Structure 1
Amino acid sequence: MKVFNQVNPSPELMQEFFGGEEDGAFVMVNLLKFKDKAEYADGRDTDLSGAEAYALYGAAVVERLAAVGAKPRYSGPVTGLMLGEVEENWDMVALAEYPSLEAMKTMIMSPEYQKIAVHRVAGLEGQLNIKTKPGSL
């Protein structure tokens, strides 16, 4: 299995993801890898670590999730790997539940989200987003 962390999807991948048939609620699993030091696209000087910049985004995105009927479900640091093998472990896992693809698209396209996303991009080395269906064991 090849693993490739990215910060932003390509336009083609965005079209494929949001262009599919709507199938209701889902949980997005975010596997996050942070930069050692945050790097802002506008070149601003900062002493923030990547994790600290992402924490600014994380605190603000809760309101953006609520605005589209989505909910944060879990976030926490990765502390070990029991099974499998990866070249380098992720730093954090975060789960968010969305009522629909349209809700997620509305959120990430909003000016309010774009304003806070600068912290996400500044802090992330890369991530995996895995769409799952909510369910129970």
Structure 2
Amino acid sequence: MAVDPIGEDLKAFLAADPDGPVVMLNLLRFAEGGRESYARYGAALRKTFLPRYGGEVLYAGDGGPALVAEQGQEWDAVLLVRYPSRTAFSRMVADPEYQEVSRWRTLALEEAVLQPTIPWAGK
């Protein structure tokens, strides 16, 4: 299963609205023992990379039992992270220092969804 964005997906992501703010939805399913590795990644993200690129964690929490979902669609954790622009997010994931620590994220996850969200008009 894919857990990291790839080049073609990032190009399409940037083409949508490179300068507008974006909130990234993260749905995470941890590999065996992955929470510790993800915590290490998360600490580096909050300490170094979010401040460097203007990002902010809006919400982070554990997933509970799904009320409406197909079998196997529950997630271990959910995060919402706001970035000032899609360009800022892309620059962060291209940063060589970020790529070094993102390996902890890759090792931590069995499956993930990373989806940009767009605010509804007037909200």
Note if contact 2:24-2:82 (Cα within 8 Å) is conserved in structure 1: yes
C-alpha displacement of 1:86 = 4.0
Question: Would you say the 8 A contact 2:3–2:111 is kept in 1?
Answer: yes
Q: Would the aligned equivalents of 2:17 and 2:86 in 1 still touch at CA under 8 Å?
A: no
Distance 1:108 1:18 in 2: 13
Which residue identity does 2:103 align to in structure 1? V
In the alignment, the residues of structure 2 paired with residue 106 and residue 14 of structure 1 have an alpha-carbon distance, to the nearest angstrom, of 11
TM-score by length of 2: 0.87
How large is the Cα RMSD of the aligned pairs? 1.8
1:90 corresponds in structure 2 to 75
Out of 3, 6, 22, the residue aligned to residue 2 of structure 2 is 6
- Could you list the structure 1 runs, at least 4 aligned residues long, displaced by more than 6 angstroms after superposition: none
Cα distance in 1 for partners of 2:68, 2:22 equals 25
How far off is 1:25 after superposition? 0.6
TM-score by length of 1: 0.79
Instruction: Give a deviation string over 1:78-118, Cα, whole Å, max 9, x none.
Output: 01111232424111001100000110011111122112111
How many aligned positions are there?
121
> What stretches of structure 2 of length at least 5 have no aligned partner?
none
> What displacement does 1:12 show?
2.0
Superposed, which structure 2 residues align to 1:21-36 within 5 Å?
A: 21-36=17-32
- The percentage of aligned residue pairs carrying the same residue is 36
State the 1:54 CA deviation.
Answer: 0.7
Contact 1:25-1:134 within 8 A present in 2 as well: no
Would the aligned equivalents of 1:26 and 1:132 in 2 still touch at CA under 8 Å? yes
1:56 counterpart = 2:37: no
Aligned pairs for 1:38-49 within 5 A:
49=33
- SS in structure 2 opposite 1:126? strand
AA of the residue aligned to 2:36: E
* Aligned AA (1:55): A
User: Is the CA contact 2:41–2:101 (under 8 Å) kept in the aligned structure 1?
Assistant: yes
Structure (1/2) with the larger helix percentage: 2
